[in-house]
Structure 1
């Protein structure tokens, strides 16, 4: 009954491990750095000593083959999620090649349940609204989304060949306990630090990592068949996003919204500068592009499976801000009244 999880020390992966352990499932992790396991899992109430750890990289066929051996299920959650141009080479290797290696190894080992964590962005740009689990794979003009679209084609080929594969499509994900302070969490933090006074128009679907983890535990439940599920959440315009953060924190957060199309050249220039600058720039082409091409998501099947819709966006934002302050990533002053609320 052991479940192998790749990417288990990341944001989505660590919360998924916690959900699997709460469901009583034995978990094995394939990780590059075993020292990351305890800091990622302990804050979620998972005893690191109760999880089996195998060292290796998802792009190494021998390491992956050894990791999947004897497992009843595999969840491939490892990927490089970033709009930082400095990560392009690594994401091309991990997101596509890693998916090929892990899914091939799982099928060769006869694993009965395989899960692959894609992204709603792999279905962009879409010619219809909302995006559904059966939407065609997109051809996005942005490196991260393009690598995930290529990986999605790998996953769908396996499904077409009859593999026992479930694909999930997380939306932009927030929530507490982000081990690496990833893209979405960092963007919220930057807004509260006053580093993002200019926002593109448009928006993107947003969900809670805890709801997504529940989805992963559910689709890996023994007896659950193959399929595709959009991650829990809903579309949020950038104006609503900023407005909600204002409400949660009680801070004015002055911002200006400019047409996303007009901001794309600025994003390109920022990406060029980011390649040589040692500091992280808050302006990124990929984030602007995503705001421009995103659509709503149809989560009907997901809500039915989980028995409830995603938790309110306001709650997710409040919990994320509170955690940022509690973990020392944000001052209590910048967290505003969210830091004063009970966790």
Structure 2
């Protein structure tokens, strides 16, 4: 498939982040030249190194996606764009979610379409479908009405991307893998689960290796295809299955505790209140995260994986690599990953 692709200059927004850095590497391996739009070049350099960047001097644009003029200048030198920049708000507080997830998105996608870039690829999230309307999420599932600020900002941006036309949208699930610049969402939860035990509640999680997502994103860059939607939620696991998998991989006793959904939400709400008061709380659970944990269902990834020619690596490999990386970076102790420790 990649042999048929013509080389393009692809502007990558959010190249200092987890997805953007890995995607830049995958684009290079597919024969394209990434142009990086980042706010912090030093952070971008660290992220790219963590993602296995070959050290090439890719063109760099230091700008904020909320600056429409700066975004336009960067777009003018490119054939296509991968919009991977976003602010996460599931396990944190205080981010200007709408500024990046809505205003920044409009600056990038609107101007890319206006300038005739092709393709225009937007990295959304499976969270726009959560809480889900049925037992399985598909690309045609209705958009959700989430209660949390992160979900609302992503759904607002999603509606705009769809209305714009000509935009390819990719919906990844929970991302794991090595090289995350700052622990967030699932990687942060993995550290807490490995260290303190896994809450066993209804629902589950879709686990997607960031390296597999990067390959899928790189394979979206065929011009003339029009608007497409690719759902790649990853391997779905219940929380009990995830606890058992980690125990099996590490050789340590299974650490899990059953919680009533109402109790999980109450604990999450209490932690939110403590954090808002400035109390130092390291455990990543929030009410927003609890809602997603309790309501997530499997996703139908087959159409996207077949269209892009991508095979997801075994979930055991992703979890093992993640735990080893968390240990190597000092986020976990060697004893905590058991026999996975070097």
Instruction: Give the aligned partner of residue 163 of structure 2.
Output: 157
**Pairing 1:26–2:38 present:** no
Instruction: Give the aligned partner of residue 21 of structure 2.
Output: 14
1:26-175, aligned counterparts within 5 Å? 26-87=33-94, 89-159=95-165, 163=166, 165-175=167-177
1:243-322, aligned counterparts within 5 Å? 243-275=244-276, 276-322=278-324
The answer (yes or no) to whether the contact 2:71–2:107 under 8 Å persists in 1 is: yes
TM-score (norm 2): 0.92
1:167-206, aligned counterparts within 5 Å? 167-194=169-196, 196=197, 198-206=199-207
CA distance in 2: counterparts of 1:39 and 1:294, whole angstroms: 32
CA distance in 1: counterparts of 2:52 and 2:267, whole angstroms: 43
More displaced 10-residue stretch of structure 1: 205-214 or 216-225: 216-225
Instruction: Give the aligned partner of residue 234 of structure 1.
Output: 235
Secondary structure of residue in 1 paired with 2:336: helix
Secondary structure of residue in 2 paired with 1:86: coil
Encode CA deviations 1:285-304: one digit per residue, 9 max, x unaligned. 11210022212100011221
Residues 63 and 151 (structure 1), Cα distance of their counterparts in 2 relative to 1, 3 Å cut: same
Secondary structure of residue in 2 paired with 1:128: coil
Moved runs in structure 1, 4+ residues, more than 6 A?
none
CA distance in 2: counterparts of 1:137 and 1:128, whole angstroms: 12
The answer (yes or no) to whether the contact 1:16–1:217 under 8 Å persists in 2 is: yes
The answer (yes or no) to whether the contact 1:201–1:258 under 8 Å persists in 2 is: no
TM-score (norm 1): 0.92
Secondary structure of residue in 2 paired with 1:27: strand
Give aligned pairs, total.
Answer: 334
The answer (yes or no) to whether the contact 2:232–2:305 under 8 Å persists in 1 is: no
Secondary structure of residue in 2 paired with 1:219: coil
The answer (yes or no) to whether the contact 2:233–2:298 under 8 Å persists in 1 is: no
Encode CA deviations 1:84-142: one digit per residue, 9 max, x unaligned. 4523x411221111111111121122212100111011012222221111212111112
Point out where structure 1 has 5 or more consecutive residues left out of the alignment.
Answer: none
Instruction: Give the aligned partner of residue 218 of structure 1.
Output: 219
CA-atom RMSD in angstroms: 1.7
Encode CA deviations 1:217-267: one digit per residue, 9 max, x unaligned. 001234544200012512211111111111111111422121324321221
